[in-house]
Chains A and B, each alone.
Chain A
């Protein structure tokens, strides 16, 4: 079985401050980890993924994520948040099958 936990329902930050969205996972075998963002009334947009190699993954819109195998975490980060980063963020994990297991999502609000 595979699962993802996003421990924070909401994250609030001021524009220009660092943004971190937390994710921990559980999976048998090698984990493939993904981050998606959803803007209001829109579909999910792919941000980045970890397959293998460098633990720091860079993605779209200035986001990056750090894979930590010992802590089974894959936290999403952005050094300087923008108001336009306000959205719903999903972490997802997959083993080697078709099922992509999503977390419940974290709502990010960036205030001006």
Chain B
């Protein structure tokens, strides 16, 4: 049981380049999330997927797109990278009860450290 896995671990891009960050979970969770972590700002939600086939914007979605490929996989794409997107990106997943919403625990992957030059 690997939990939440992310690839790659590190990436350096030039401004304007594109890339996709991959995330997979093997815990049969229905909800998945992408966060970015910047010093002194905690984690901020970029996008989330409540269930397979649905995606929604979080608090900082500009410059990103996502795809919920299937129940296990949730990818984050930077179409034209900018230096402001230099950050550490974390994927998370949870099993969200439809009735008692909000109580689910999110489990995080190891992160992708992205630098945009």
Contacts and interface: CB of A to CB of B under 8 A. Distances in A.
Interface stretch (A14-22, A70-78, A79-87, A92-100): A92-100
B45 A97 contact: no
A46 B31 CA distance: 17
Interface in A21-77: 32, 34, 36, 41-46, 49, 51
Given A32-B102, A94-B102, A104 B58 contact: no
Contacts of A104: 40-42
Main secondary structure of the interface of B (DSSP, over half): loop
Given A43-B111, A98-B48, A98-B56, A49 B105 contact: yes
B108 A102 contact: no
B41 A42 contact: no
B51 to A, nearest CB: 11
A55 to B, nearest CB: 16
Nearest to A43: B108
A44 B90 contact: yes
A102 B42 contact: yes
A102 B43 contact: yes
B105 A43 contact: no
Interface of B: 4, 31, 33, 40-45, 48, 50, 56, 58-59, 90, 92, 96, 101-103, 105-111
17 contacts: A41-B111, A42-B111, A43-B4, A43-B108, A44-B90, A46-B106, A90-B42, A96-B101, A97-B101, A98-B31, A98-B48, A98-B96, A99-B59, A100-B33, A100-B43, A104-B40, A105-B42
